[in-house]
Amino acid sequence: MRGDQVSSVRRVPTYCYQCVAGPDLLTVKVEDGVATEVEPNFKAADIHPAEGKVCVKAFGLVQKTYNPHRVLTPMKRTNPNKGKHEDPGFVPVSWDEALDLIAARLMEVRGKGLLDGSGFPRVAASFGGGGTPMSYMGTLPAFLAAWGPIDFSYGSGQGVKCTHSEHLYGELWHRAFTVCPDTPNNRYVVSFGANTEAAAGVCGVYRHAEARGRGAARVQVEPHLSVTGACSAEWIPIKPQTDAAFLFAMIHVLLHERRLDELDRPFLVNHTSSPYLVGPNGFFLRAADSRKPLVWDLNQGKPAAFDAPGITPALEGRFRVAALEVGADDEVWTHAEVEGATAHTMLVEHVRPYSPDWAAAICDVPAAKIRKVANTFLDQACIGQTMAVEGRVLPFRPVSISLGKSVNNGWGGYECCWARTLLACLVGGLEVPGGMLGTTVRLNRPATNRLDSVRPGEDGFMAFPWNETD
């Protein structure tokens, strides 16, 4: 289309939500009713984290819109036979025909009852994007609510792009469905395969570029040199699926090659189970009357409930106490006198074999390199420093660890998530400025604010909606 042939030009502000990195604000140039260009929306610079810029993928939306193969109508399957060698025979139908077909099928199902013989809903629903806001779905949520019980379990995971391990364990440990570094305040991030420069959208790319500009460093640990590795302060090649060994060795360095007073001792004592006493069967030792977990009170030189006022729990050591252990199936062991070790003491002993030299033989990364990363992680944690945020003084811990999708979903996914979270705890860098944060995406209700889902549970931990297993 030539410029002198255009009779009208207008620019329409909208957004791109092709992936979960969105929505990104943009402007579409429309010439005589035809979208011809995608442009940044600099008018939104004050409210958009990337100052109104869009990522390169958004510039392909014009071709995507006018693709002759784009599906514009409902499609009906005509071949009832299923199998990898069967052509489903999809044909386009009108919206009226599609709605009539669905309505007839729903009425048939409803006539049999909302629940099947096993007590499960007869109707299931699944959506194309993980965490798609209900406000984007028009009247569909209202219809589903009016219908009655719906089985949403078939959509769990929402596809191959998700970091499934992180979603589950992040929610369990700190209500973080997605875990990210606080990039605007971060100084040192160790990334295990998180391809930020390709997959984090324009906001992620922009924020990491800003961070590098002010001197922040990112170490990229991955088998191949990705664009993210090329933009990092250092790329460390590693044997595939051995990231857990590297992370375990980092824990070993902090617990066996650095002093305890270099860690964030107050965080470990006040915000983790580190001072809880553990019995010979591997469960917390509990008071016989309240069944609350016990700690060793340094003030009185005797055991006390973890939440007793005015106590100073011991972080390390072994102590003899009279207590109970309660097993996973409510089995009870009564101890008139038994030795209990703090959970921190048991952790130190547990990771003793996982030295950098042990890890080097597994992941093909020199032990000296692993030690350097671990020591830098601790040295950059700024333990003891604080930062004021909206009138509140909070711990400032500008270090973080990111895990990529393959690290999350492959062998050792749980171990990597556990080790990453533990390293954040050792420096007090969990859910604080500069450290490791959960994003606004949420799994636990309410859906409006993830912080509102944090409620006190048993034993000093967050309440979690477990599913019964028997």
Vertex 322 angle, CA 317 and 328, to 5°: 85
Domain ranges in the chain?
A: 3-65, 88-155, 164-261+351-460, 273-342
- Count the neighbouring beta carbons within 10 Å of the beta carbon of residue 36: 13
pLDDT tens digits for the chain (470 residues)?
Answer: 455 688 899 999 998 888 777 788 899 999 999 999 999 999 989 988 888 888 888 889 999 999 999 999 999 999 999 999 999 999 999 999 999 999 999 999 999 999 999 999 999 988 765 556 677 788 988 999 999 999 887 765 555 557 778 888 998 999 998 899 999 999 999 999 999 998 888 888 889 999 999 999 999 999 999 999 999 999 999 999 999 999 999 999 999 999 999 999 999 999 999 999 999 999 999 999 999 999 999 999 999 999 999 999 999 999 999 999 999 888 999 999 999 999 999 999 999 999 999 999 999 999 999 999 999 999 999 999 999 999 999 999 999 999 998 898 888 899 999 999 999 999 999 999 999 999 877 777 776 788 888 889 889 999 888 777 66
Instruction: Give the C-alpha distances (Å, rounded to integers) separating 155 from 62, 125, 457.
Output: 29, 7, 29
Distance of CA 331 to the CA centre of its chain: 34
Give me the amino acid identity at 330: D
**Which sign does the torsion angle of CA 256, 260, 263, 267 carry?**
positive
Helix orientation angle between 413-426 and 243-252, rounded to the nearest 10 degrees: 30
Looking up tokens 């798609």 gives 132
pTM: 0.85
Q: Is the distance from CB of 423 to CB of 247 less than 8 angstroms?
A: yes
Backbone Cα Rg of the chain: 27
Q: Is the distance from CB of 221 to CB of 236 less than 8 angstroms?
A: yes
Distance of CA 47 to the CA centre of its chain: 25
Distance of CA 360 to the CA centre of its chain: 28
Q: The domain 164-261+351-460 belongs to what CATH superfamily?
A: Dimethylsulfoxide Reductase, domain 2 (3.40.228.10)
Q: Is the distance from CB of 303 to CB of 313 less than 8 angstroms?
A: no
Q: Is the distance from CB of 355 to CB of 249 less than 8 angstroms?
A: yes
